[in-house]
A and B are shown apart, each in its own frame.
Chain A
Amino acid sequence: MMDFWIILTAVLVASACSILGCFLILRRMALVGDAISHAVLPGIAIAFLMSGTRDSMWMLLGATAFGLLTVFLIQTLQTFGLQSDASIGIVFTALFAVGVLLISLNAQHIDLDLDCVLFGEIAYVPWDTWTLGGIQMGPRAVFMLGITLMVILLLLGLFYKQFKICAFDPAMAAACGIPVLLFHYLLMGMVSMTAVSSFESVGAILVVGMLIIPAATAYLLTHRLGIMIGLSVAVGIVSAISGYLVSYLLDASIAGCIVSVAGILFILALIFSPSSGLLVKFTRRSSSARTAS
């Protein structure tokens, strides 16, 4: 049962992240996802300080607001003429520093381990349960991630076409009368929500890894958005399950193993992808050289 909850959590994180990752990769915002998943830390710390517990919906909302604040600050600095890479770097390091400082200053009030912030401790998920009206409802992380995944599926299902046009051609989307900025912030809100709900259970690094690697793998394999999302989720889920097994064999961090497996899948796609893999590319090049001579 323990294994089941852990794998379920990992699969939920992987699916939520790999769906959103496709849009981030297409909009060339992969590193904004990285920034958000680090910058929600002060939101989580403040929610902890104010409510004293961690099982409130307020925490999810409050910390999600911090994710949106990150995006807003990055864009504001850019409109002030700072180049985009530097503004991402300045904003997320500053917010992460605030978070670490808050946690270390209030160590006795905040039940949050700083090591877990980066690596996460998914193995503790089954013990962190919550109850509703005296009934055991299962691990809290699974519940929060389930809600997040549901919100993502709902929003993307309703506005799939709009998100698609915004991802490929924001200028055309604006010309069609789609509120591009609104959809931008909706996407960023979903990324923040995912980052927050998976933060303490799986750690920032698994969130970033799952946001970028499965989507990039799928990007190498197809040219169609729908198929890309499907493949991305498949890669995410496969790496979540096999990563858990590998971690069992190696007696090592579960989150680290999942990301490593995803990275290996990416390398395989990089070499063997039928459309843009290195193998195809080099054989094509050598065969064309042969026909030329």
Chain B
Amino acid sequence: MLDWLISLWSDPNTRWILMGCTLLGLGSGVIGSFTFLRRESLLGDTLAHAALPGVCIAFILHEVKSAGLFLVGALLAGIAAVLCVSAISRWTKIKPDAAMGIVLTFFFGVGTVMLTHIQHSGSGSQSGLDKYLFGQAAAMVTRDVYTLMGVSLLLVLAALLLFKEFKLISFDPGFARGIGLPVGLLEHAMLILTTVAVAAGIQAVGVVLVAALLITPAAAARYWTDRLSVMLTFAGLFGALSGASGAAISTLGEGIPTGPVTVLAATLLFAVSLLLAPRRGLVARALRHRGLKADYAARSAVHASGSPEAAEGGGRR
């Protein structure tokens, strides 16, 4: 076990990937907390699928694979997708969830057409494009890891700087507008940060699973606290832990993919939080429920026996 940990650290390539995945988990956990509170968790899924045509267009235009370029493509496509979702749900009777589904599949479908077109036209360097989509952190080169780390740090920094503003628009947009905050601008900023997190995360865990990086750590963190600052810390911690264990465990064997392990680690943390968190966890709730029941039974027994002092004592307890 210890040897394994040491070997992880001593191999420079593995070390970079480990740090990249950890920071990525941290960044997306923090940003995901805000999207979780705004009840827009599945937007991450939409953004991830919508990134495909953007990535393909970036590749067609420049004929090179680079994380930075793909990030820009994914960002632009994600913004286009979000605009489409809000346009559909605003101008028609179609509900936002169906609008998300329509945009998600349409963008992904168009992206698939482009991807297969690229593959069949056979420009030599396209082989890694599908790797990019299904997420294999081990396939990243050092420059991509640098991009990933830079992006994750940017996410955390932005969340810290705009903490108060984001907090207000997450809990009470009406009040935020009332005190003169530029709510529309802040919402767009948050959206762009979410898109950046998704676009960066696709490389490590893949299109389908990247939504989990945003949702699961945030949902787990929600069980531990009622304060936003504590929740962000927990979500970042859970995200970082799952990212690190995903990257570490996938070095154990040839066929172990990073993405699924990362997501399963996050799910495990969520399950533990759901069960064992103090106050909001299921176990704590069941215990409290039982305590109340016993208390009530004791009190009604006292009432039935008709002793006023005992009843008063019970009430005071």
State the A residues within 8 Å of B (CB): 25, 28-31, 33-34, 38, 77, 80-83, 85-86, 88-90, 93-94, 96-98, 100-101, 104-105, 107, 114-115, 118-119, 205-206, 208-209, 211-213, 216, 219-220, 247, 250-253, 255-260, 262-263, 266, 270, 276, 278, 281
Contact = CB atoms under 8 A, between A and B. Distances in A.
Contacts of A31: 42, 97, 100-101
Interface residues of B, number: 60
Interface stretch (B8-16, B61-69, B261-269): B261-269
6 contacts: A80-B274, A96-B209, A96-B263, A101-B264, A206-B109, A256-B112
Given A89-B215, A208-B101, A209-B109, A97 B94 contact: no
A88 B113 CA distance: 28
Given A101-B257, A209-B105, A86 B41 contact: yes
B105 A101 contact: no
Interface stretch (B85-93, B155-163, B292-300): B85-93
Given A101-B260, A105-B256, 13 more contacts: A31-B42, A77-B274, A89-B44, A89-B212, A98-B260, A104-B257, A107-B255, A115-B130, A115-B134, A216-B101, A256-B113, A258-B109, A266-B102
A262 B115 CA distance: 18
A220 B94 contact: yes
Nearest to A102: B260
B98 interface: yes
Interface secondary structure of A, over-half rule: helix
Contacts of B134: 114-115
Contacts of A247: 113
B109 A259 contact: yes
B40 interface: yes
B38 to A, nearest CB: 10
Contacts of A98: 260, 264
B28 interface: no
A77 B222 CA distance: 14
Interface string B240-272: 000000000000010111011101100100100
Interface string B197-234: 00000000001110110111011000000000000000
Nearest to A282: B91
Contact of A255 (B102, B112, B117, B253): B112
A38 B212 CA distance: 13
B95 to A, nearest CB: 5
A85 B211 contact: no
A100 B133 CA distance: 14
Given A114-B134, A252-B120, A86 B215 contact: yes
A220 B259 CA distance: 38
Given A97-B212, A101-B261, A251-B117, A89 B45 contact: yes
A93 B109 contact: no
A246 B259 CA distance: 34
B255 A213 contact: no
Contacts of B49: 205
A213 B105 contact: yes
Contact of B112 (A96, A205, A212): A205
A19 B214 CA distance: 33
Pick from A96, A97, A270, A278 the residue with the most CB of B within 10 Å: A97
Contacts of A263: 102, 105-106, 109-110
B36 A86 contact: yes
A281 B90 CA distance: 13
Nearest to A251: B120
Contacts of A86: 36, 39, 41, 215, 218-219
Nearest to A38: B208
Pick from B134, B207, B253 the residue with the most CB of A within 10 Å: B134
A203 to B, nearest CB: 9
Given A82-B219, A104-B257, A266-B106, A252 B117 contact: yes
Contacts of A119: 112, 116
Given A31-B100, A98-B260, A256-B116, A205 B106 contact: no
A205 B102 CA distance: 11
Contact of B216 (A34, A90, A252, A255): A90
Nearest to B109: A259
